[in-house]
Structure 1
């Protein structure tokens, strides 16, 4: 945990220059066991969806930690990217969501496709609390406070026909596909949308529909990567700020 993130529910007092917060649970355990925090310790702190700053420990024990916080720094600039991802296998879900949050993606669409087992949609990892936890862990690691938005789309065709064309409008629109594709374009801070398929890739029908919506197929080499590796590899190639 490189950043202690608090939310409005943690605020117990507010003045013109400082915010007093009280933390418990996982964050308190981390302060005690990893930071070895004690009164007057200075820690890096950020407000969820707000600014970064520092916090001075006022008091700490096994029940709660109280900090006085000053906020003065904007969080990192988000990637100019909307990511469309075929729903991963549940055992990969947490790692991928965590990585996406760390890398600065702020809009993620999880969609159905032919090679996504319908049972994946019932995984407990898709519950709001589970998603929030992994997003938060990614923010804490990367020293960011801006919580990504996750959109769930359980029907492929309505999404690509009704929503995707508008999402692609005036953007660099790409779908990762290893066959008959253009080389990955050079890194850029241009507004972009990228689609990545499931293990085994999108089927030809799905590629056709994605292209009809305005996406161009791209590839990054001869190797076929797992989804969690492909996400990181593609984002590091497409953007100069990771």
Structure 2
């Protein structure tokens, strides 16, 4: 946690915020801050700055006061990411990485090689997803939550929604076969479609290409989703 990310709902007064139990534990055990120390804070959906930490006492709960917010959050990546729903135990780490790297428009889509049971996973509950996204923001010192959409039907999305998403953007389909090398340092916004570990099937690849996407690959090695996401994002938009 490189940023104490405060929800506006935690506000006690104009310059003071209560701390959640998770935040208190992190400050106490990891940061090991003492009362009166200044900590880096940000307000969800707002700016970044500093505040003074006060530990819990019998008279008052743990809180941050004298908050001054002066810096804007990092700029978002100019990318819309469409990703086949990963295995639940991989989804958390992947969403944290995606959020930390600055993607603000994410679609989780069904694919022929995605197990239908994945869509019933507790990981997809709103509170679980929200926590993953928050942890990504805290890691990257960001305050802007991404927009996350669930797409349980492949064909209607590609045929009906994708054309509008592709307007004035480059469409890139991550696929290991019959594809050109992935571009480096892209100079325009893009839509990136990333398949399951088994890859898109022939029908799905055909629909992506019909919609105007271009197939790209990273080489002969097949990488796990949690690995390929940071590789592709840092290649397309180097820091």
TM-score category of the 2 structures, normalised to the smaller one: over 0.9
2:64 is aligned to: 67
Q: Write the distance in 2 (CA, Å) between the matches of 1:137 and 1:163.
A: 29
Aligned to 2:236: 238
- The answer to whether the 8 Å contact 1:80/1:189 transfers is no
> 2 CA distance for matches of 1:27 and 1:7?
12
TM-score scaled by structure 1? Answer: 0.95
- Match for residue 41 of structure 2 among 21, 24, 45: 45
Q: Helix, strand or coil: the match of 1:166?
A: helix
1:189, distance to aligned residue in structure 2 (A): 4.1
Residue equivalent to 2:50: 54
Q: Deviations over 1:54-112 (max 9, x none)?
A: 01124434983121211000000000000000000111111111111111111100000
Question: Partners in 2 of 1:30 and 1:59 — Cα distance?
Answer: 12
Which runs of 5 or more structure 1 residues have no equivalent in the other structure? none
Structure 2 partner of 1:11: 11
Give runs of aligned pairs for residues 30-109 of structure 1, distance below 5 A: 30-61=26-57, 64-68=61-65, 69-109=67-107
Q: Which runs of 5+ in 2 are unaligned?
A: none
State the aligned residue count: 237
Q: Which residue matches 1:140? A: 138
CA displacement 1:186-206 (0-9 Å, x = unmatched): 212411110000011000100
What RMSD, in angstroms, separates the aligned Cα atoms of the two structures? Answer: 1.3
